[in-house]
């Protein structure tokens, strides 16, 4: 099973975490199943950006984003070249290192 390493995030996992995740699961579901409360305001239907992550390693093993995901990502807080929507990104064969951005657009709006 590939390993998913989540870099420390102040609220969601202050110490960071490494978890074994099955091939083909969405990164968002993998995080939620392990008790990491990543936001997913649109219930994983690619209609928000709250599940935004940045893939720091292993991105080559992921299926490329489609046009809809790219359009949504353009609205994400802290967009980077390796940004993905975790509900639209499934785990491949390789280990991954991801970062959950400090803010989501929801938090920015709510101040």
Residues that bind ligand FES (CB under 6 A): 28, 40-42, 44, 46-48, 50-51, 72, 85, 87
State both tokens at 47.
Answer: 């209609």
- Cβ-based nearer residue to ligand FES, 4 or 48: 48
Distance, CA of 80 to chain centre: 12
Exposed / middle / buried, residue 63 (Cβ in 10 Å: 0-12, 13-18, 19+): exposed
Q: 61, 92 in Cβ contact below 8 A?
A: yes
- Cβ-based nearer residue to ligand FES, 58 or 104: 104
In the bound complex, what is the minimum distance in angstroms from residue 6's beta carbon to ligand FES? 16
In the bound complex, what is the minimum distance in angstroms from residue 4's beta carbon to ligand FES? 16
Q: 87, 44 in Cβ contact below 8 A?
A: yes
In the bound complex, what is the minimum distance in angstroms from residue 65's beta carbon to ligand FES? 11
- Cβ-based nearer residue to ligand FES, 15 or 29: 29
């Amino acid at each position: 099973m590939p390993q998913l390493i989540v870099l420390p995030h102040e609220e969601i996992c202050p110490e960071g975490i490494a978890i074994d995740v099955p091939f083909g699961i969405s990164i968002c579901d993998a995080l939620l199943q392990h008790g990491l409360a990543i936001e997913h305001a649109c219930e994983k239907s690619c209609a928000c950006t709250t599940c935004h992550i940045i893939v720091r390693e292993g991105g080559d093993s992921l299926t490329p984003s489609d046009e809809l995901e790219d359009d949504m990502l353009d609205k994400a807080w802290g967009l980077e070249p390796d940004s993905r929507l975790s509900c639209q990104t499934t785990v491949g064969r390789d280990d991954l290192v991801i970062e959950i951005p400090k803010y989501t657009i929801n938090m920015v709006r709510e101040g």
